[in-house]
Amino acid sequence: MSDTVFENNVVLENSVPPVEELNFAPLASTYARTLIIESSIFFTILAIIPAVINWFVADGWLLTQWWFYVLWLLLALSPFIWAPMVAKSRGFSMREKDIHYRSGLIWKKTVSLPYNRIQHVEIESGPLERIFKLTTLKFFTAGGAMSDMKIPALEFERSSKLRAFVMEKAGVSEAEAKDAN
Amino acid sequence: MPTDTVVTTKLDAGKWQRLSPYAVIYYIVKFISAFVKQGVQSLAPLAAVIFTAGENRWLIIGFIAAGAVVFLLAGAVLSYLKFRFRIANDTFLIQRGVFKRKRLTLTFDRIQNVAFKEPIYFRPFGLVVLSIESAGSSSEEVGLGGIPRSLAEEIRKNVLKVKSKVNSETGTVAEDTLTAAPDSDDAQTIIKQPASELVRYGLSNNNIWVFAGIIGGSLAQVDWDEYTFAQETENLIVSLIGTSGAALTAFFISVLFFIVFILLMLSAIGAVVSNYNYHLTRHHGRFHRTKGLFERQEKSLLESKIQCLQIDQPWAARLLSRFHLYPKQVGFAKLGQEGGENDMTGAPRFLIPSVTNSFAVDFSKLLYPDFHWEKATLKPIDRMYTRKMLAWVFAPIAILPATSLSIVFSPWFMLILLFPLLVMPLVMLRRSKFGYASDGTHGIIRSGFLGQKLTVFPFFKVQTVQLTQSPAQRKKGLANLVIKMAGTSLQIPFMPLLDAKSWRDRILYEVESNNSSWM
């Protein structure tokens, strides 16, 4: 038998087209901006913590060093370069029976999630997201405690529409299962 | 508090029921074991009080002991009094808690399993502990500790009856429709394990090495110089053997062997005690297992609920040419507590210990009749795995101590950089253990190191599929594939991209076109 066991199914006999042929829909155009703000805040906090510790331990020696400011500025400004690219690398694609989320600039990752495995869907909106009127859509399956797929930066109407569609699909496939038997 | 609470040996649907009064014993044992597991370190301040108490020491110890006993008894009696359960409208309701009332409502269709345990102290009274495994995410401990066996069997029958009704509605296989007790006469015996096999299991499971690691780790943390007996022991050893390096080395090696020997003995004894009289039967699409010396444990597992079959062979089991099988269930937290039965993620375990290769193959055929993985040659993963592991995992581990120690002490510490070369054969071994094969509807994935682990699973039980690629993998046409099932996550790293894609597409097709219930 050897490898033939595997070779049999390299050719797909029907339906499911390879995931690669999908067109991935982009996320909200304001997504890059939220990423920039988010990471600038993060890097600022990252700079404040050692500065405060240093203030107590070494009387603020760190604050007199020019390289500390340069380093912080480089980090805080770096999102202007990578955030648009990161935002562009993320996107999702829906088919009749499954949804796919692609992400990653360097390490590319695609998660595929069939509708009939979805347990529930959550719409989340953090403080920053609320300012930009964006939401994150989270899909949960029985595969783990964490969400299995997270689609960030969706306008509110878009995510509620998406959720309704997916929920209906998840329900429909269950009904189909009932009919089939 | 409902006034119509009844204590009966029969199921009284709709009424609140109590446990048997002997359940007090169950609570006492439970409290003591919980205390031993978690609370021993809280004795430290108590010990300090006792040691500094001087003359009144024994009086104080006596008071504390008496107080503890009273507290224990009161707690157990109150727990028993405050515990009641009710079965109505296909739901299981439990009220419990002494200080804080807790209510639990479980609908039957969320109950995965009902397991019985018969601890030795319940045997004279014909009582059992009934524990419930649910498909919920709650990890709260729920067990009916101390109800008559007849009542337990009635409850199980009730839960299962409704279950089969639910299943026929959602359209799972007809096999599920079962109302008879799993232990009725026409059950087919799958395997009975004699003590010799259980000893093999005890000797070859990995638990003792984990245990030895924990012990070793905690011993290493102790500052031995603080203890006079450590010094005394050292003096004794030196006086007996002398200071010759060779003799001392020989002594320590033999001590080490002795410790390993003791651990192996303990593990073997433990395996025999907990799996004594292991008996696995199959009946109407359901596996039923009984085992245990002091505590008889009964558990059933619905075949359709098995997510995948894990065939484990730790390195010691290779020497004995045995395998340990785990048909894996949905990996949510188990409601029916009691240690040992759960794996590290808290998922309930259903172990078939120490079986031969041919039994493993036959058992897999029982679950997946069309999948002939034993005839397939597993495909290896790419050699790039070894290079990348060394460059990205082991080299960074070596660089930091090598540079810092060289700067502070001696440049000789640069030799640490050879560490990746030393582990290279091991990484190569790990790579060679990875393997995969599929027949289009099932998959088998092998991984391991000194031992090996085979996971056999039907594609339609998968929840999600992930495909990742690093830049180097993209260049070489490779990918990592992560397959998530309910409670189990499988990985094939550095797999040819074509294979990874065809696995993904094939899995999605199976999940989306197969209407059988995965749960």
Which among B307, B463, B478, B510 is the top mutation candidate for probing chain A, defined by the most A β-carbons within 10 Å of its own β-carbon? B463
Contact B468 A148 (CB under 8 A): no
Mean predicted confidence (pLDDT) in B380-400: 92
Cβ–Cβ under 8 Å, residues B113 and B155: no
Cβ–Cβ under 8 Å, residues B182 and B299: no
Mean predicted confidence (pLDDT) in B471-478: 95
Nearest-CB residue to B379 (from A3, A98, A113): A3
Q: Which of A58-62, B316-320, B477-481 has the highest mean pLDDT?
A: B477-481
Position B290 in a domain: no
Contact B171 A181 (CB under 8 A): yes
Question: A32: pLDDT confidence band, cut at 50, 70 and 90?
Answer: very high
Residues of chain A with Cβ-Cβ distance to B509 below 8 Å are: 12, 14-16
Chain A residue with minimum CA distance to B502: A10
pLDDT of residue A13: 46
Contact A141 B463 (CB under 8 A): yes
CB atoms within 10 A of CB B352: 24
Which among B370, B473, B512, B516 is the top mutation candidate for probing chain A, defined by the most A β-carbons within 10 Å of its own β-carbon? B512
Per-domain boundaries in chain A: 33-82, 90-174
Position B407 in a domain: yes
Specify the higher pLDDT residue, B154 or B113. Answer: B154
H helices of B321-460, in order, are 357-367, 384-389, 395-408, 419-433
pLDDT of residue B164: 53
Which of B:480-509 have CB within 8 Å of A?
A: 484-487, 489, 498-499, 501-502, 504-506, 508-509
pLDDT of residue B44: 67
Chain A residue with minimum CA distance to B444: A6
Residues of chain B with Cβ-Cβ distance to A170 below 8 Å are: none
Position B2 in a domain: no
Nearest-CB residue to B511 (from A19, A114, A142): A114
Nearest-CB residue to A177 (from B171, B375, B376): B171
Position B300 in a domain: no
Asked if residue B251 and residue B134 are part of one domain, the reply reads: no
Asked if residue B268 and residue B216 are part of one domain, the reply reads: yes
| Domain A90-174 belongs in CATH node 2.30.29.30 | yes
Asked if residue B241 and residue B166 are part of one domain, the reply reads: no
Distances (CA, A) of B392 to A16, B280, B420: 36, 46, 10
Number of domains in chain B: 4
Angle at B133 between CA B131 and CA B139, to 5 degrees: 100
Residues of chain A with Cβ-Cβ distance to B332 below 8 Å are: 142
Write down the residue that tokens 């600039």 correspond to: A105
pLDDT of residue B331: 60
Which one-letter DSSP state was computed for residue A175? H
pLDDT of residue B182: 45
What are the DSSP E strand ranges found in B275-377? 278-283, 286-291, 296-302, 308-313, 323-328, 352-355
Taking only the tens place, the pLDDT of each residue in B499-509 is 999 999 999 99
Taking only the tens place, the pLDDT of each residue in A117-174 is 888 888 989 888 899 999 999 998 887 667 889 999 999 999 999 999 998 888 755 5
Chain B residue with minimum CA distance to A117: B463
Specify the higher pLDDT residue, B380 or B104. Answer: B380
Nearest-CB residue to A16 (from B372, B499, B508): B508
Q: What range defines the domain where residue B256 resides? A: 203-274
Question: A5: pLDDT confidence band, cut at 50, 70 and 90?
Answer: very low
Contact B498 A10 (CB under 8 A): yes
> Checking DSSP bridges between strand B143-148 and strand B188-193, what pairing results, if any?
unpaired
Distances (CA, A) of A116 to A15, A123, B305, B342: 17, 19, 17, 28
Specify the higher pLDDT residue, B12 or B68. Answer: B68
Chain A contact residues (CB < 8 Å to B):
1-3, 5-6, 8-10, 12, 14-20, 97-98, 104, 106-117, 141-145, 148-149, 173-174, 176-178, 180-181
Specify the higher pLDDT residue, A178 or B73. Answer: B73
Position B4 in a domain: no
Which among A15, A105, A117, A146 is the top mutation candidate for probing chain B, defined by the most B β-carbons within 10 Å of its own β-carbon? A117
pLDDT of residue B216: 77
Asked if residue B128 and residue B29 are part of one domain, the reply reads: yes
- The C-alpha atoms of residue A178 and residue A30 are separated, in whole angstroms, by 43
Residues of chain A with Cβ-Cβ distance to B463 below 8 Å are: 113, 117, 141-143, 148
Asked if residue B341 and residue B484 are part of one domain, the reply reads: yes
- Tell me what the pLDDT averaged over chain B comes to: 82
- The C-alpha atoms of residue A118 and residue A114 are separated, in whole angstroms, by 7
Residues of chain A with Cβ-Cβ distance to B492 below 8 Å are: none
Position B479 in a domain: yes
Low-confidence winner among A20-34, B19-33, B76-90, B178-192 (lowest mean pLDDT):
B178-192
- pTM (two decimals): 0.77
Position B24 in a domain: yes
pLDDT of residue B314: 92
Question: B493: pLDDT confidence band, cut at 50, 70 and 90?
Answer: very high
- The C-alpha atoms of residue A19 and residue B512 are separated, in whole angstroms, by 14
Chain B residue with minimum CA distance to A14: B509
Write down the residue that tokens 């785990």 correspond to: B326
Q: Is the pLDDT of residue A177 over 70?
A: no
Low-confidence winner among A120-124, B242-246, B252-256, B326-330 (lowest mean pLDDT):
B242-246
Residue A180 burial by CB count (10 A; 0-12/13-18/19+): exposed, middle or buried?
A: exposed
Asked if residue B389 and residue B375 are part of one domain, the reply reads: no
B166 lies within 8 A of chain A by CB: no
- The C-alpha atoms of residue B93 and residue B105 are separated, in whole angstroms, by 5
Contact B519 A149 (CB under 8 A): no
Mean predicted confidence (pLDDT) in B465-484: 95
Asked if residue B333 and residue B399 are part of one domain, the reply reads: no
Question: B178: pLDDT confidence band, cut at 50, 70 and 90?
Answer: very low
Contact A9 B502 (CB under 8 A): yes
Asked if residue B268 and residue B343 are part of one domain, the reply reads: no
- β-partners of residue B326 are B310
pLDDT of residue B12: 66
- Tell me what the pLDDT averaged over chain A comes to: 82
Position B1 in a domain: no
Q: Is the pLDDT of residue B133 over 80?
A: no
Asked if residue B239 and residue B210 are part of one domain, the reply reads: yes
Asked if residue B159 and residue B48 are part of one domain, the reply reads: yes
Nearest-CB residue to A148 (from B375, B484, B512): B484
Residues of chain B with Cβ-Cβ distance to A14 below 8 Å are: 509
pLDDT of residue B279: 94
Contact B499 A6 (CB under 8 A): yes
Own/partner pairs for A34-41, CB < 8 Å, 24+ apart? A34/A128, A34/A129, A34/A132, A34/A134, A34/A153, A35/A79, A35/A83, A35/A86, A35/A87, A36/A79, A36/A80, A36/A83, A37/A128, A38/A128, A39/A76, A39/A78, A39/A79, A39/A83, A40/A76, A40/A79
Asked if residue B137 and residue B39 are part of one domain, the reply reads: yes
Cβ–Cβ under 8 Å, residues B276 and B292: yes
- The C-alpha atoms of residue A24 and residue A112 are separated, in whole angstroms, by 12
* DSSP-derived secondary structure for A8-53: TTTS--SS---GGGPPPEE--TTHHHHHHHHHHHHHHHHHHHHHHH
Taking only the tens place, the pLDDT of each residue in B295-350 is 888 888 888 888 999 999 999 999 999 999 999 887 644 333 333 444 444 445 78
B515 lies within 8 A of chain A by CB: yes
Asked if residue B463 and residue B359 are part of one domain, the reply reads: yes
Cβ–Cβ under 8 Å, residues B353 and B340: no
Write down the residue that tokens 């619905």 correspond to: B302
Question: B41: pLDDT confidence band, cut at 50, 70 and 90?
Answer: low
pLDDT of residue B367: 94
pLDDT of residue B455: 96
